[in-house]
Amino acid sequence: MKYPSESVDALGFTPIGLDMPYGIIVQNNPVNKIDPNGQNYLDLNFSFGTIITIGGIPIPLGMTGGIMLDDHGNILPYLGGGLMNPGLGVSLMWPKKSCDEPVPGWTISMQGGAGLVGQLGHSYGDGSNWKEWGIGTPGAGVTGYFVFSPIHLGK
């Protein structure tokens, strides 16, 4: 039985912005295949911002960190900081294109949204630009962070 491209995946939705029908990406086998090229990932991010006053000027600074889970069974943790809304932020995101994948090294990005969120970034590890879309708490930020080498969990 073929997996119809208009159907939804096991999470109940097809990720926004895939450049091809999802059935093609999972080779019409959604139970046993996630992404045959290992180039999809999920990005679970946590951030906390506060206002720091320097010389009487309030500056919204914070920390960000999380993990990216790729289709090779790897976890790529990351940690950094930058300018961001005060308070706690949480997001779950995925790549805009199935050919984007996480790269160890320094990354800069800007992100924002409320409910639906987006992020644009540049990875210095390979010089690539990338986009992510997903769901998250309201907020915005401009951050720099370091993506650590993959921790292989095995599949």
Q: How far apart are CA 131 and CA 24, in angstroms?
A: 21
Q: How far apart are CA 70 and CA 84, in angstroms?
A: 26
Note the pLDDT of residue 142. Answer: 96
The predicted-structure confidence for 98-151, as pLDDT tens digits, reads as follows: 556 778 999 999 999 999 999 999 999 889 898 999 999 999 999 999 999 999
Note the pLDDT of residue 99. Answer: 55
Give the sign of the dihedral formed by CA 86, CA 87, CA 88, CA 94. Answer: negative
Burial of 45 (0-12, 13-18, 19+ CB in 10 A): buried
Give the pTM.
0.72
Task: List the single range of 19-28, 41-50, 100-109 with lowest mean pLDDT.
Answer: 19-28
Give the sign of the dihedral formed by CA 42, CA 118, CA 112, CA 63. Answer: positive
Is residue 45 predicted with pLDDT exceeding 50?
A: yes
**Which domains does the chain possess?**
41-152 (2.40.128)
Tell me if 75 sits within 8 A of 67, measured CB to CB.
yes
